[in-house]
Amino acid sequence: MDAETENLIKAKNDEIAALQRRIFELESLVWEGFDESLSTHVKELAIAVKVHAAVSKNWKKGMSIKKQISIWLKQNYPKLMSEERERISKICNWQKSGSAPSTL
């Protein structure tokens, strides 16, 4: 193998190694949710993130966001105390006016 080919192979291997390092860096940035095994775990915060993601992706016009959050919580976390549901609903509700949006 000549020197030019060896240099080209080395350059490509260096590129591959750099890309693999970048992939590793990017994978470490992916958030997989809260770790429930940690003593710092906050249940309401973890649930709030889930309900916000679910409702914001599928919200229905003509029904208040607070109502949609309440329905989702009752379906997915039926054992939550009413105080917990209320706190989570307040955090997640981006429609602070309190009325249902227009259906138009």
pLDDT tens digits, 72-85: 999 999 999 999 99
In this predicted structure, the answer to whether residue 104 has a pLDDT above a threshold of 60 is no
Instruction: Write out the residue range of the structural domain in which residue 77 sits.
Output: 43-92
* Total of domains in the chain: 2
For residue 103, which amino acid is it? T
User: Is the same domain home to 56 and 20?
Assistant: no
Contacts of 35 (CB under 8 A, 6+ apart): 41
Look at residue 33 in the predicted model and tell me its pLDDT: 78
User: Is the same domain home to 19 and 49?
Assistant: no
Question: What burial class does residue 91 get, using C-beta atoms within 10 Å of its C-beta: 0-12 exposed, 13-18 middle, 19+ buried?
Answer: middle
Q: What is the pLDDT of residues 13-65, one digit of tens each?
A: 999 999 999 999 998 888 777 888 889 889 999 999 999 999 999 888 888 99
Look at residue 98 in the predicted model and tell me its pLDDT: 56
Q: Of 46, 92, 87, nearest to 66 (Cα)?
A: 92
Contacts of 100 (CB under 8 A, 6+ apart): 62, 63, 64, 67
Residue 38 lies in a domain: no
| pTM strictly above 0.85 | no
